[in-house]
Amino acid sequence: MEKRAVILTSLVLILGALLLGATFWSTEARADLTIANGPDPRSLDPALAQSTADLRVAASLFVGLVSPDPRTLEPRPALAKSWSASANGQSWTFQLRENLKWSDGTPLVAAEVVWSYLRFLDPGTGTRLGDLLDCVRGARHFRETGQGRDRVGIVAPDDRTLHFQLDRRTPYFLDVLGQPPLGVVPRHVIESRGLGWTRPEHFVSAGPYRLVTWRLRDRVRVQRNPLYFDAAGVAFDTVDFRAVENAATMLNLFITGGVDFATDVPPGAVPALLARYGASGTREFLPAPRLGTFFLRVNCRRPPFTNPKLRAALSYSIDREAIVSTVTRAGEPACRSFVPDGVRAGEVEYQSARTLSFDPGRAAELLSLGLAEEGLTQLPSFELLYSPEPGDQAIAELLQSRWASLGINCRLVGQDGASIRDALKRLDYTVARSSWLGDYNDPSTFLDQYRTGSPGNRTGWSSEVYDGLLARAASEADSARAATLKEAETHLLAQSPILPIYHYVSRNLVSQRLAGYFSNVMDWHPPSSLSEGTPR
Amino acid sequence: MSAPLLLIGLAGLFAWAHWRTRRAGKNDRWAAHARRLAWVITTTLAVYTASFFLMRATPGGPFDGDRALAPEIEARLRARYQLDRPVWVQWWNSIDALARLDLGPSMVLREFTVQEILVQSLPTSLLVGTAAVAWMILIGLPLGLLAARRAGQWPDAAASLVAALGQSLPTFVLAGLLIPPLVFGLGWLPAAGLESPAGLVLPSLCLGLPYGAQLARLLRAGLINTLDQDFVRTARAKGLGEARVISRYALRGALVPAIAFLGPAIAGILTGSLVVENLFGIPGLGSHFVQGALSRDYPLALGLVTIYTLLISISTWICDLLLVALDPRIELG
């Protein structure tokens, strides 16, 4: 009796396990290209994409009017065949390609592109990147209030023509239009399916790929969209974006051939990886500068850091070279400015301020001046918020010891990302770690954040001089504008509401068999432009 | 209104159990089961409520991001998910939904409801968990038996050492020890993912080994204890072989502490482990549990707390029934 029960139970367990297993192991064959994409995308809706992992998937499913060239980042024709701008740069006209179709065969006309942009701006959609289109007339008012939808300066006079009216000359307008969140989305599906429109069974897009499966924490599988305007130019038929959060797991998968492209590496493995897969090895790991900065925010409303001299003293006492050479180690440039090098400002290259340096003497001098102004003899101990990841913690400890040598005492407080963001939002912190990745290739994506009242500011810092310089730059031609922006950045760094530390580099591991991978500052490597190639 | 119905039903269950005990006596099985069920529901509601208010008291919210949301957008999102109402109203509404077995929409993975996330991830966790339970028994049972049979001799010391190591090695160290030879050296197993049965081996082993070690220790202690008892001596005196003495008589008593441990252990194994899932890229419940809390996805985190509570309660219940079957001195109560 007992024996029978035991045998029965085991049989049921084994059968159950086999059945469960069958649901996994009957799955599709390996994709032609497998990318370890980092965490799960939070949404496949391009308007809701925010992390680089989300954007990478969005960029393969959707396409906008233009698309950045993976080598040069120059905007290339995508849905739009050609375009022209008026002499004052405020009026743009785009001609769509002929016979554009959605992946379900429905024709794609200009009115749907307009609808798509208005949906992006609509506060009901919930995008975080709405300010991308702030240069368009009436866009900001609509996205902030939900009023004036029909006064936004985007119209479609006919099925193949699109017209934009801008508030000001915007040298980076085409760069903005090429960003994945501005991929065009299908009105006919969204209006009938609501939030569920991104499900594989309903999914419709106009990009290089269409959605096959989305299993949380596992993968997003996409397949070539035969109705994409350049379907013949897409080399890989199926692509898997595997959700792999752990960088060590990504590395293991890459080494064993489980993935062709890994998007991060463990910080501790960087020197070994550079030796084995770097320039002198297989050339599969070639970190390259990208448009992003790791920095600290200082709460400028919390005494004594209301005093800019004390903030600057913190900045001058940061040994940025020591941080990049002992902690990050993948060739991250130590910050001399907030805006990284290699950024375009319209037709010219932006020359950043380059005023930051490690100068303990100057730091001590500013500290004593600042303390005297505040009537203090010693800087009160303050809290430095960091996130308890290995790299972050090491940086926080280096800062703490460096500051301690100047008599500046800080306590390290490790908090999870959500708590830090909440503290920043409520200005309830003294000094906190922060990061910023540029949205498009122009210094304004960095500098606009610190304008008075910008939601991205989060330092309580406000400067009429700074706001005035940014406003002046907005109306200037390229080279004068670049000079004014540099002046603004110099002012920002002197006032030190933010303390830039290092600029990010890409940390991709890319299999030798992939051709079409080019390092660029946006870390932009759309799968549709990758192909099987001879080893690099 | 489902919550009042649930509460009335719960009170009714308690009342019925009370009435039944008075009529049928203290040892009535149905009264015991009814009371147990009522307590499972009460515990789940209590845990849910405590977690609900703890989560709301934690700084941050589901709509915070590295990029600030425009106030108008945030207001609309809060209204859509009813976060603009007083907290106790939200709590009552969510209890009401819970009573209808509706765990609500995820606030972060906005294209999914919590149920849909569970449907995707629970089978994975069950698969890995079942395999881990198999490892636990495969490792724990022989190791415990060996140690008890040779108590005080070198096999006991060796088995105890293995058990102590298995119990104290953190999962990531264990994985770090197993991955280089099995994945890189021999190339037998994939580095991550559940694309083939081979992918199941390492994650389930890493998950099951610590529990197996614990099981071995409990079994050893229990068996040494029972092997000394009179009824075992009687069995031996009757001339039964040692194998039969152990499997038929001693093991029954020795299993009692092990089974008591198995209840929570199985719940823990089945709901997965963040570390194992993270290391091996397993799409299970564990990572949703932690991510749900970290990203302040209230419905997801609370839904998983509820599932976890229910799993622990139910598996402990089953183990209690097993204990009663194993040892007649134990009473359901």
Burial of A103: CB neighbours in 10 Å, binned 0-12, 13-18, 19+: buried
Instruction: Please check whether residues A153 and A119 belong to one and the same domain.
Output: yes
Which chain B residues are Cβ-neighbours of A23 within 8 angstroms?
123
Instruction: Please check whether residues A232 and A272 belong to one and the same domain.
Output: yes
Rounded to 10 degrees, the C-alpha dihedral A330/A331/A337/A340 comes to -80
| Contact (CB<8Å) A43/B109 | yes
* Distance to chain B for A323, nearest Cα, Å: 23
Largest CA distance in chain A: 92
8-state DSSP, B69: P
User: Does a structural domain hold residue A134?
Assistant: yes
Instruction: Please check whether residues A483 and A369 belong to one and the same domain.
Output: yes
Which chain B residues are Cβ-neighbours of A44 within 8 angstroms?
111
User: With 70 as the cut, is the pLDDT of residue A152 above it?
Assistant: yes
Q: Buried b vs exposed e over A379-394: b needs ≥16 C-beta within 10 Å?
A: beebebbbbeeebbeb
pLDDT in tens, A192-237: 998 889 999 999 999 999 999 999 989 999 999 999 999 999 999 9
Closest listed residue to residue A455, CA positions, set B65, B252, B55: B65
pLDDT in tens, A312-329: 999 999 999 999 999 999
Paired strand residues for A155? A163
User: Does a structural domain hold residue A195?
Assistant: no
Domain range spanning residue A127? Answer: 63-184
User: Does a structural domain hold residue A413?
Assistant: yes
| Residue from the list A20, A25, A146 with its beta carbon closest to the beta carbon of B123 | A20
Please check whether residue B236 is in contact with residue B162, taking contact to mean a CB–CB distance below 8 angstroms.
no
Interface test with B, best of A199, A214, A421 (most B CBs within 10 A): A421
Which chain A residues are Cβ-neighbours of B295 within 8 angstroms?
418
Instruction: Please check whether residues A315 and A411 belong to one and the same domain.
Output: yes
User: With 80 as the cut, is the pLDDT of residue A485 above it?
Assistant: yes
Closest listed residue to residue B40, CA positions, set B4, B89, B6: B6
User: With 70 as the cut, is the pLDDT of residue A58 above it?
Assistant: yes
- Which CATH number characterizes residue A254's domain? 3.40.190.10
| Residue from the list B65, B126, B281 with its beta carbon closest to the beta carbon of A50 | B65
Domains annotated for chain B, with CATH where assigned, are 3-99 (no CATH), 118-296 (1.10.3720.10)
User: With 90 as the cut, is the pLDDT of residue A282 above it?
Assistant: no
Instruction: Please check whether residues A214 and A173 belong to one and the same domain.
Output: no
Instruction: Please check whether residues A352 and A446 belong to one and the same domain.
Output: yes
Instruction: Please check whether residues A473 and A342 belong to one and the same domain.
Output: yes
Please check whether residue A291 is in contact with residue A441, taking contact to mean a CB–CB distance below 8 angstroms.
yes
Interface test with A, best of B58, B67, B247 (most A CBs within 10 A): B67
Interface test with B, best of A217, A295, A421, A424 (most B CBs within 10 A): A217
* Distance to chain B for A95, nearest Cα, Å: 32
Q: Distance between CA A375 and CA A370 in Å, rounded?
A: 9
Which chain A residues are Cβ-neighbours of B131 within 8 angstroms?
17
Which chain B residues are Cβ-neighbours of A456 within 8 angstroms?
67-68
Q: How confident is the model at residue A25 (pLDDT cuts 50, 70, 90)?
A: low
pLDDT in tens, B275-320: 888 889 888 888 898 889 988 999 999 999 999 899 889 888 888 8
Please check whether residue B145 is in contact with residue B217, taking contact to mean a CB–CB distance below 8 angstroms.
no
| Contact (CB<8Å) A256/B282 | no
- Which CATH number characterizes residue A98's domain? 3.90.76.10
Q: How confident is the model at residue A291 (pLDDT cuts 50, 70, 90)?
A: very high
Instruction: Please check whether residues A238 and A317 belong to one and the same domain.
Output: no
Which chain B residues are Cβ-neighbours of A217 within 8 angstroms?
120-121, 277, 282-284, 287-288
Angle between helices A478-495 and A308-316 (to 10 degrees): 100
Mean per-residue pLDDT for A109-123? 96
Which chain B residues are Cβ-neighbours of A48 within 8 angstroms?
110
- Interface pTM (ipTM) of the complex? 0.87
User: Does a structural domain hold residue A194?
Assistant: no
**C-alpha distances out from residue B139 to A282, A312, A499, B130, B136, Å:** 43, 61, 54, 14, 5
| Residue from the list A16, A145, A253 with its beta carbon closest to the beta carbon of B192 | A253
User: With 60 as the cut, is the pLDDT of residue A277 above it?
Assistant: yes
Phi, psi of B235 (to 5 degrees): -60, -40
Helices vs strands, H then E, count in chain A: 16, 21
The single residue listed with the structure tokens 């140690």 is B147
- Chain B residue whose CA is closest to A457: B68
Query: Count of domains in chain A?
Result: 3
Which chain A residues are Cβ-neighbours of B70 within 8 angstroms?
123, 130, 143-144, 455
Q: How confident is the model at residue A1 (pLDDT cuts 50, 70, 90)?
A: very low
Total Cβ atoms within 10 A of residue A204: 20
- Chain A residue whose CA is closest to B293: A418
| Residue from the list B72, B130, B187 with its beta carbon closest to the beta carbon of A145 | B72
Closest listed residue to residue A298, CA positions, set A287, A307, A286: A307
| Contact (CB<8Å) B183/A123 | no
| Contact (CB<8Å) B187/A256 | yes
Instruction: Please check whether residues A102 and A165 belong to one and the same domain.
Output: yes
User: Does a structural domain hold residue A222?
Assistant: yes
The pLDDT mean for chain A works out to 92
Half-sphere exposure of A158 (CA within 13 A, CB side): 6
Instruction: Please check whether residues A169 and A252 belong to one and the same domain.
Output: no
Total Cβ atoms within 10 A of residue A403: 22
User: Does a structural domain hold residue A362?
Assistant: yes
Rounded to 10 degrees, the C-alpha dihedral A460/A461/A462/A467 comes to -120
| Contact (CB<8Å) B191/A249 | yes
Q: Distance between CA A83 and CA A93 in Å, rounded?
A: 6
Burial of B115: CB neighbours in 10 Å, binned 0-12, 13-18, 19+: middle
Q: Distance between CA A21 and CA B129 in Å, rounded?
A: 12
pTM reported for the whole predicted model:
0.91
Q: How many residues does chain A have?
A: 536
Which chain A residues are Cβ-neighbours of B197 within 8 angstroms?
21, 25
- Chain A residue whose CA is closest to B137: A10
User: Does a structural domain hold residue A256?
Assistant: yes
Instruction: Please check whether residues A334 and A401 belong to one and the same domain.
Output: yes
| Residue from the list A16, A199, A252 with its beta carbon closest to the beta carbon of B192 | A252
Question: Which ranges of chain B have pLDDT less than 70?
Answer: 272, 332-333
- Which CATH number characterizes residue A388's domain? 3.10.105.10
Q: Distance between CA B32 and CA B331 in Å, rounded?
A: 10
Among A141, A169, A184, residue at a domain's last position: A184
User: Does a structural domain hold residue A57?
Assistant: no
Per-residue pLDDT at B271: 72
Per-residue pLDDT at A268: 87
Structure tokens, A4: 């029978």
Instruction: Please check whether residues A490 and A348 belong to one and the same domain.
Output: yes
